[in-house]
A and B are shown apart, each in its own frame.
Chain A
Amino acid sequence: MRLKKLLPQLVAATLMCLGATSVDAEERLFVRLGGEAKLKAAVDELIDVMLKDERINFAFAETDLPKFKHLLYTQLCELAAGPCIYDGRDMRTAHAKLPLTSAHFNALTEDLYIAFDRVGVSYPVQNELIALLAPMQRDVVKR
């Protein structure tokens, strides 16, 4: 039957339209951050900035950088409602052995701003991402 053949195509087309409009309507943060290419570039810049940052580079002395880079990208991508799934440890477990303070947390935040400046993401959009990261202070910082 023609209708039977047409129905899945109609459904698929409708879903595609809905999907497209929802992305446009929501203007997902992932898209506004510049998508995969820019977010990956920002992560590269962040690693460069934080390893030179005397306030916090001690924390990355034993870090497997390629793995860290992948985890950081998927984490930021997922937070920004991008097409990724972060499969790393939760923030409390990941930072359990590090004696981190709010000053360290804020230093990394500052480095993140610098990294996103370098790849040309605007300040209000940077702030939207930082807003999603800020509550992690509770899990990262030792009480």
Chain B
Amino acid sequence: MRTRAAPTSIQFCLALALLCVATAAAGENRFGADRGKLLMTAGFTTIEGAGGGGLTPWALITGYGTERSWGANAHATGIALRDFDYMSIGAAVGVLDRFELSVARQTMEASKGALDGVSLSQNILGAKLRVFGDAVYAQDSWVPQVAIGVQIKRHDGIDGGAQAGLPSLTSVTQLGAQDEDGIDYYVSATKLSLAHSFVVDVTLRYTDANQFGLLGFGGDVDEGASLRAEASIAYLMRRSLAVGVEYRGRAQHLSIDQESDAWDAFVAWAPNRAISFVAGYVNLGGVLAPVTGDSSDQDGAYLSVQIGF
């Protein structure tokens, strides 16, 4: 039997602890960590834990370690959606500017409406391999940096069903999902154009996830996985400041959730290599509208903090 979703307060403490450990480690060059990448070229952390933007991964390897070193970071991200509180915490390590490993825990909890108190969680193990290209140094070429990645997602059950008058609701399969667990595969191509001060990423993801996997995988409407496009574009305003927008194509598999594409607009600020902040606006479209009877866009403020080296 799976453990129930942890209360948000415990997650918050865990996130703080992770951030503290990362800060302490970032205090000095530990175990050959060179913190050698240019500011912001380590990217930020997505809601699924991979290095990238906010909604979509980039081909950049997370952390400030160069090709002969390593780096690591921890993140905590919160999104205050209209009827849901969304949270992601996790940690990631980048090795030799070639491999990336990440762990993240996502929770989405209804904060009002018909499902008030119901919470969905999943744990994600991510791996990314840089295949070819150089996003930063190859400014004389349009060939992007390309990476392939995998996100292994395990659902952690539904909590708080009783609060919403649904005491028997404990698994996403009861909502029509084919599986509680699933795997996303993706390929990302990222290019920094210094001459034009912008970063572009295009990602293709093969997935059957519902709401990133928080509502399980596959469904009663469509059980199959499909290829979905994602993109980020960011303009570098200063060495430590960027603004951008992202788009993430998504598919509907469940009759109880008319899942739509998601997008965001963000400001990213990296005052130094140890800490960075991303603030923005996210719109996931309607979430569980046929259940809640409310088809309004679930949108709201996005705030993410990364600490590392």
Contact = CB atoms under 8 A, between A and B. Distances in A.
A91 interface: no
Contacts of A123: 197, 236-239
Interface residues of A, number: 20
A130 interface: yes
B208 to A, nearest CB: 39
A138 B39 CA distance: 20
Interface of B: 34-39, 66-69, 97, 136-140, 193-195, 197, 236-239
Nearest to A136: B137
Given A101-B34, A102-B66, A134 B239 contact: no
A12 interface: no
A134 to B, nearest CB: 4
Contacts, number: 57
Interface of A: 101-104, 106-107, 109-110, 113, 123-124, 127-128, 130-132, 134-135, 137-138
Q: Determine chain A's interface SS by DSSP, over half rule.
A: helix
Contact of A101 (B36, B38, B237): B36
Contact of B38 (A106, A128, A131, A138): A106
Contact of A131 (B37, B66, B97, B195): B195
B268 to A, nearest CB: 15
Contacts of B140: 134-135
19 contacts: A101-B34, A101-B68, A102-B36, A102-B37, A102-B97, A103-B35, A103-B66, A104-B36, A106-B37, A110-B38, A123-B237, A127-B194, A127-B195, A127-B236, A131-B193, A131-B194, A135-B137, A135-B138, A135-B140
